[in-house]
Chain A
Amino acid sequence: MVVTLDAELLDIALRSLRVTLTALVIACAIALPLAAMLAVRRYRWRRATIAVLNALMGLPPVVVGLIVYILLSRSGPLGALGLLFTPTAMIIAQVIIIVPLIASIAHQSLRDLWAEYHDLLISMNVTQSQKVRTLLWDARRALLTAALAGFGRGIGEVGAIMIVGGNIDNVTRVLTTAIALETGKGQFALALALGFILIALAISVNLIIHWMGQTEQESRW
């Protein structure tokens, strides 16, 4: 099945990628500007916000899954959208799980860069949005690390997406939920093979992103 690249297996692997990459893009769009704002803005509850964000890095995925399930279930506030047991529900759960992780790691890089740039940008009369854009652009290589950490957490996630996705064949089954299913059925060889595919996928995406971002090409960049 693995050697011949079975169509169903390919479908599961592609679904895993699609769900996690979509969640990653959405999470980056939320987490990176948030991290930059936390770096440049000074307000009363800033330190508390950062502490909460750091604490949310350890958010238990099963609890996230449960909350998203309640929100999306037919009797829940968002039940009318009919998203439960769809890839969209899985994406929502993954976004909630990886936003704090990406924001927290990104914030550390951006905070250091802001300390370096502070005097210059203040003297140039730069607006808040220009500051944010400058930091995000100049720290882009460091931010890749944050994004990759988010991808790693998302692609390997099983608890939340099992609850909100339901592991439905041809609809919401992804590599991690398939591994859990095959393990439960005692099909350890297949589960292990799926595990290798998952690892290969994660490494490939990491390498591609590193290559695209030209990380490590320039010293001190």
Chain B
Amino acid sequence: MVSVMFPLVLQAAETSRRGKRLIGPIDLSLEGHGVTVVIGPNGAGKTTLLRLMHGTARLNKGSVQWACDTAKAREAQAFVFQRPVMLRRTVRENLMYPLRLKGARKTDAHARAETAARAVGLEDFLERSAVVLSGGEQQKLAIARALITKPALVFLDEPTSSLDGRATRDIEGILQEAKAAGTRLIMSTHDMGQARRIADDVVFLVNGSVGEQDAASTFFDSPKTEQARAFLRGDIIA
């Protein structure tokens, strides 16, 4: 499916709310492999860009074009939020939910939930309420729930922003496995160490526009713009 969906092309894409421009105009083209990491200072529009690509933020100007039909592309995507949203159900039922939405049989969904929970180390919590899990466990569950339907593409909005080092390492491991399984990942992060560890290419956003887009190694070793250099140095950029 990934090869059918991509490239994803944004042309002069713009999102506004109550007349105020949130991001754009954005011109961007993403290919169908690896991990794209969206970085930039607070308020640069990272979350809005992910939502715009996913189709949950309103496009006011320009276009967001998938290589296939947009509805089909939406079907093959999942989104993981910065603050994991837990259904008020057990861990197992949270995992079964997207499968049941897609018409999976209960017994099949039941078994697949166990496999998914094992993959993220939550097999001992299957019958526990999801809302009483720790932040790291909830984010693992959110990622497992996003991956359980085997989507071609997963958007992750700063999935480790409120987690400690160990939970972050676990989640990066899960993401690396998903990538190895062929899942296309597009994520935003504030953590430059994480971006260096897992990014194949980087989109650097400043003030709602793309400041730079490049392969991760090129971006981190020799950024082209002064703003990117300043950002990587840790300077505060306006």
Q: Which residues of A contact B (CB under 8 A)?
A: 113, 116-117, 119-120, 122-126, 130, 134, 138-139, 218-221
Contact = CB atoms under 8 A, between A and B. Distances in A.
Tell me what chain A mostly uses at the interface: helix, strand, loop, or mixed: helix
A120 B129 CA distance: 18
A124 B54 CA distance: 10
B98 interface: yes
Interface in B91-106: 97-98, 101
A98 B77 CA distance: 43
Given A119-B85, A138-B88, A221-B88, 14 more contacts: A117-B85, A117-B87, A120-B81, A123-B54, A123-B56, A123-B79, A124-B78, A124-B98, A125-B75, A130-B101, A138-B87, A219-B132, A220-B129, A220-B131
B200 to A, nearest CB: 24
Residue from the set B88, B97, B132 with the largest chain A CB neighbour count within 10 Å: B88
B150 interface: no
Contacts, number: 39
Interface residues on B, range: 10 to 19
Contacts of B79: 119, 123
Interface in B124-138: 129, 131-132
Contacts of A138: 87-89
B196 interface: no
A59 B14 CA distance: 49
B129 A119 contact: no
Contacts of B75: 125
A124 to B, nearest CB: 6
B56 A119 contact: yes
B81 A119 contact: yes
B85 A116 contact: yes
A116 B56 CA distance: 16
16 contacts: A116-B85, A117-B87, A119-B56, A119-B79, A119-B81, A120-B87, A123-B56, A123-B79, A124-B98, A138-B87, A138-B89, A219-B132, A220-B88, A220-B132, A221-B88, A221-B129
